[in-house]
């Protein structure tokens, strides 16, 4: 059997060569078409590299990349770079790549409360369109475009703020605020009383309020009438109407001479008598100690005055002592006075 023969198949050399040539042409056409279409077709993911100086905790190959909260790709690889930098290689969806440019911002964010991290991309102020294999530099002045908001970073910030805020100075400030609030307690109570008064007044019928206002107007009328009388009395003073020069001189003397002299006198008197005032305090204290029971002393003094008033009644010509003398045993006084045998 020839090499090109098959059992049960009748074929000659010419037919075998023709069939082999046709199969070779078909396979070649399929390979060429596949290669051409693969070169013309848009790739499934757009490779983009981030060059950064720091990486958030939990950022590793395989985590999600999001844009506007939606999945936009994955992290393909992370490689160390020169001078302490890192290269984060992303593979983005074509739609996300078309929505971004080279001014985009990067957030290392926490995907959930369990510490799993992800990369959130945010649109920047505007730049060149994002192309495949573009390198976004997030080092130097552009380092602020990368923000670490992972769970580890948040916990560290919270602990630092706690250490900076919860200090003894805060305790002293709170104590000072408490004391100041205590000092303002009377004012707050007054405000509460005022608010309560206003609220109670609002419950009073409008007719009663107008009645109270009417009584107030009555008092205003009386006051206005008295004020007019006072003005009339002042206007009728003869000095003010006839001798204004004397009146002005009197006012000038009082204002320019009497008040300054009185002020100077009181000023020096305060300096001279301050020590005497200090001596007066213990004297008054001892004087007060001499009357330990003021109420009892007042009652006894009132009884004494009542007794004196009863003993010396007023006769119209002045008080006379109401007393009787028995002169019968004193003839030297009874005979000249003509009261012998009588008691006076």
Rounded Cα gap, residues 327 and 30, in angstroms: 172
Task: Report the pLDDT value the prediction gives residue 47, as an integer from 0 to 100.
Answer: 92
Tokens linked to 262? 């009185």
Q: Grade residue 49 by pLDDT with cuts at 50, 70 and 90.
A: very high
Burial of 47 (0-12, 13-18, 19+ CB in 10 A): middle
pLDDT at residue 344 tops 60: no
Q: What is the pLDDT of residue 204?
A: 66
Greater model confidence, 316 or 118:
118
User: What's the whole-model pTM score?
Assistant: 0.37
Task: Tell me the HSE value of 161 on the side-chain side, using a 13 A CA sphere.
Answer: 6
pLDDT: is 283 or 93 the higher one?
93
- CA-CA distance, 292 to 322, in Å (whole number)? 34
The pLDDT of residue 341 is 53
Range 264-276 average pLDDT:
76
pLDDT for res 151: 72
The torsion angles phi and psi of 176, rounded to 5 degrees, stand at -65, -40
Domain boundaries, the chain: 46-158, 167-203, 291-344
Of the pLDDT bands very low, low, confident and very high (cuts 50, 70, 90), residue 11 is low
The pLDDT of residue 209 is: 67
Averaged pLDDT, 71-92: 90
| Sheet (strand 105-110) strand order | 134-138, 46-52, 86-92, 70-80, 64-67, 117-122, 105-110, 146-149
Rounded distance, CA 178 to CA 171, Å? Answer: 11
DSSP per residue, 208-239: HHHHHHHHHHHHHHHHHHHHHHHHHHHHT-HH
User: Model confidence at 88, in pLDDT bands (50, 70, 90)?
Assistant: very high
Q: Is 56 helix (H, G, I), strand (E, B) or coil?
A: coil
Does pLDDT of 343 surpass 60?
no
- Confidence (pLDDT) at 90: 92
pLDDT tens-digit map of 224-253:
888 888 888 877 777 777 777 887 888 888
Beta bridge partner(s), residue 70: 67
Q: What is the helix, strand, coil percentage profile of the chain, to 5?
A: 60, 15, 25
Among residues 71, 55, 79, the alpha carbon closest in space to that of 111 is found at: 71
Cα 246 → chain centroid: 63
Comparing 7 with 49, the larger pLDDT belongs to: 49
What is the average pLDDT score of the chain?
78
- Report which of residues 338 and 145 the model is more confident about: 145
Residue 10 pLDDT level (bands cut at 50, 70, 90): low
Q: What 3-state class would DSSP assign to 12? A: coil
> What's the mean pLDDT in 321-326?
73
Distances (CA, A) of 88 to 55, 91, 185, 254, 321: 9, 10, 62, 95, 125
pLDDT at 75 over 60: yes
d(CA 155, CA 260) in angstroms, rounded, equals: 74
**Res 87: pLDDT:** 93
CA–CA separation, 110 vs 152, rounded Å? 9
């Amino acid at each position: 059997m020839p090499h090109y023969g098959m059992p049960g198949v009748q074929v000659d050399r010419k037919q075998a060569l023709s069939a082999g040539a046709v199969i070779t042409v078909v396979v070649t056409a399929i390979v060429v078409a596949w290669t051409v279409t693969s070169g013309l077709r848009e790739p499934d993911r757009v490779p983009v590299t981030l060059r950064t100086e720091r990486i958030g905790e939990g950022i590793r190959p395989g985590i999600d990349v999001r844009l506007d909260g939606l999945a936009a790709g994955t992290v393909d690889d992370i490689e160390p770079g020169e001078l302490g930098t890192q290269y984060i290689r992303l593979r983005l969806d074509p739609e996300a790549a078309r929505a971004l440019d080279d001014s985009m911002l990067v957030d290392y964010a926490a995907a959930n409360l369990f510490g799993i991290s992800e990369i959130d991309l945010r649109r920047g102020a505007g730049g060149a369109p994002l192309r495949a294999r573009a390198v976004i530099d997030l080092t130097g002045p552009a380092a602020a475009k990368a923000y670490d908001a992972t769970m580890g970073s948040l916990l560290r910030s919270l602990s630092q703020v706690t250490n900076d805020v919860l200090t003894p100075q805060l305790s002293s400030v709170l104590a000072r605020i408490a004391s100041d609030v205590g000092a303002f307690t009377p004012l707050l109570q007054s405000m509460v009383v005022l608010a309560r008064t206003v609220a109670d007044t609002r419950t009073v019928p409008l007719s009663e309020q107008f009645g109270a206002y009417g009584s107030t107007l009555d008092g205003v009328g009386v006051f206005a009438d008295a004020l007019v009388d006072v003005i009339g009395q002042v206007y009728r003073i003869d000095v003010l109407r006839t001798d204004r020069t004397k009146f002005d001189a009197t006012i000038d003397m009082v204002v320019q001479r009497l008040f300054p002299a009185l002020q100077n006198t009181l000023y020096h008197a305060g300096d001279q008598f301050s020590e005497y005032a200090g001596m007066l305090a213990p004297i008054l204290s001892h004087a007060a100690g001499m009357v330990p029971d003021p109420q009892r002393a007042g009652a006894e003094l009132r009884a004494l005055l009542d007794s004196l008033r009863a003993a010396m009644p007023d006769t119209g010509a002045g008080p006379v002592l109401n007393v009787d003398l028995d002169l019968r045993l004193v003839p030297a006084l009874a005979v000249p006075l003509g009261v012998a045998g009588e008691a006076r």
